[in-house]
Structure 1
């Protein structure tokens, strides 16, 4: 998703460098939970946890 848009603008919204954001979101990246939340918010995505009824 992030790659389809302007990574420089996304990085600015998230408060990271463009290179740092690329590294965090790369295949071998290991972004922190706070980075994931900042990116989803910047993209206008809301995460909602739901119980998996098959596991309960």
Structure 2
């Protein structure tokens, strides 16, 4: 999948921390991409996803 395809699922990324690192703060996602020759930057394939969810297990 590419960043553009991920944006279709999660909406536009909310911030770009640095080249190749895109963040969706509202849903706790960070995605990294690899630079691939011949692709536009937003069409680079996603090579890593970090999910940051805080779940309170105290009931």
Structure with the higher strand share, 1 or 2: 2
